[in-house]
Amino acid sequence: MTFLKTLAAGFAASSLMLAALPASAHDDIKVVASFSILGDMVEQVVGGHASVTTIVGPDADAHVYQPSVADAKAVAESDVIFVNGLGFETWSDTLISESGTEATVHVATEGVTPVRVDGEIDPHAWNSLSNGVIYVRNIADAMSAVLPDHADDFKANADAYIAQLEALDAETRQRLAALPEDRRTVVTAHDAFGYLADAYGMTFLAPVGIDTEAEPSARDLAVLIAQLKDQGAAALFVENITSPALVQQISDETGIEIGGRLFSDALSERGGPATSYLAMFQHNLGTLLDALGKKVDG
């Protein structure tokens, strides 16, 4: 029996127990988002017109995630599902198909121009704010089709949110453009920032590829360390979803300082600095500029 079939069996058993409970007085539209960053975008658009459940929560790694019985139940009972696509959620197709859900499934990256890193499609498209605008428009269009009576509300929410994203995008372009050429190369734990690099004129190096489940070979790590010793980098950054050990090793061997922690694939837990997509991007921008010699005003 596969892992997800085991989940399905567990879900079936829990459903029998739940059947005896009284139905909710308010059966609203149930929306599932695959991970925390996408979940926040969905919540910004739907407002109070639907309940939103996120599968992979804050500070969790969607690359290596294993769905639970509760996830299978949420998917089975949902009306609308949003996934990132571009190969990000390797587990989502199986979870959705084996849950038996009748929900409509929407890919939030529809219309995004993919960036390739070392020949592979980078799924982390949200790390360009102009792509974030595409996500939001796709979410609003999908929800308007599901709840046409609230289409005006979804459009208004999306337009207000997009205005914030576009303002931060303009600020990001201006501030990162001011960096000198020798302060534009940084190292992170895995290749999650290809879209940020492409959109804002930066270079991101990493010992691990786009999938955190992979591990660098000793040779690949040695090549990267030799490259950094020869060409340098402005700073190293750890990530919220990965162990800092590899980045610390690179720092120890190259003498390049660790400039802080970036949020790559997930938001922070409540009370952290990145509890929303906007806050995450603002935090990452500030962390980059602080380490690279430019402070964010105000």
Q: What is the pLDDT of residue 3?
A: 43
CATH number of 180-292: 3.40.50.1980
The whole-angstrom separation of Cα 288 and Cα 10 is: 45
Q: How far is CA 243 from CA 21, 151, 194, 239, 255, in A?
A: 43, 43, 20, 8, 19
In angstroms, what CA-CA distances link 41 with 15, 96, 156? 30, 21, 14
pLDDT band of residue 216 (cuts 50, 70, 90) is confident
Q: How confident is the model at residue 78 (pLDDT cuts 50, 70, 90)?
A: very high
Distance CA 175, CA 289 (A): 8
Say which CATH superfamily domain 3-169 falls into. Nitrogenase molybdenum iron protein domain (3.40.50.1980)
Residue 9: pLDDT above 50? Answer: no
Q: What's the pLDDT at 28?
A: 84
The two domains 3-169 and 180-292 share their CATH topology (first three levels equal):
yes
Are 266 and 57 in contact by the 8 Å Cβ rule? The answer is yes
Domain boundaries, the chain: 3-169, 180-292
**Confidence (pLDDT) at 211:** 77
Per residue in 123-143, pLDDT (tens digit) is 999 999 999 999 999 999 999
Please name the residues in contact with 140: beta carbons below 8 A apart, sequence gap of 6 or more.
45, 154, 155, 157, 158
Cα-based distances in Å from 233 to 58, 238, 285: 29, 14, 17
Residue in this structure with the two tokens 């996934």, named with its chain if needed = 83
In the prediction, which pLDDT does 86 show? 97
Angstrom distances, CA of residue 68 to CA of 87, 103, 110: 20, 18, 27
Instruction: Measure the CA–CA gap between 73 and 7, rounded to whole angstroms.
Output: 9
Measured CA distances, 177 to 130, 191, 205, 294 (Å): 16, 21, 19, 11
Q: Per-residue pLDDT averaged across 287-296, rounded?
A: 79
